[in-house]
Amino acid sequence: MGHAIAVALFLHLLGVAVWVGGMIFAHFCLRPALEDLSPQLRLPLIESVFGRFFNWVGVSVIVILLTGGFLLMQFGGEHATWQLHAMAGLGVLMMLIFGHIRFAVFPRIRRAVQAQKWPDGARAVGTVRRLVVINLVLGIVTIGVAVLARGF
């Protein structure tokens, strides 16, 4: 394996680890731990945690896209295996869902917290939760498909 491919794969997997691992932490550890807090405490905390996490995901998305595109070219471009194309397709779908969370739903949480409109904020957080579950499932499926690309 060439050095460039090894480095790209390393960065690709680092990005995947940050993104998918962060979603596991948010969904299975943070969310249940905050459940009993009042909205006045919970929503500003969620806003500040998401604001930071989404920056990390944004960087991960760029790294995954660049390294994935590079790797795809190295592995045959349009002639690459269907598993690699499936990974790319699922990856782009996950990125679109993330974009919707970050640029459509998250601003609603921000505005609700600033205006102290707790029910609006709680609704938007519920939407983020559902979309994160979808992306988490897609992420795990994508990792499975990626490993299948090894030639099972």
- List interacting residues with ligand HEM (CB under 6 A): 9, 12-13, 16, 20, 64-65, 68-69, 71-72, 75, 84, 87-88, 91-92, 94, 139, 142-143, 146-147, 149-150
Min separation Cβ 83 and ligand HEM, Å = 8
- What DSSP line would sit under 38-67, residue for residue? -HHHHHHHHHHHHHHHHHHHHHHHHHHHHH
Min separation Cβ 95 and ligand HEM, Å = 7
- What DSSP line would sit under 65-107, residue for residue? HHHHHHHHHHTTGGGS-HHHHHHHHHHHHHHHHHHHIIIIIHH
For residue 117, give the DSSP letter.
-
Min separation Cβ 64 and ligand HEM, Å = 5
CB 138 within 8 A of CB 89: no
Contacts with 4 (C-beta within 8 Å, 6 or more apart), sequence order: 70, 74
Secondary element (H or E) of residue 34: helix 31-34
Min separation Cβ 63 and ligand HEM, Å = 10
Q: Which is nearer to ligand HEM, 83 or 127 (CB)?
A: 83
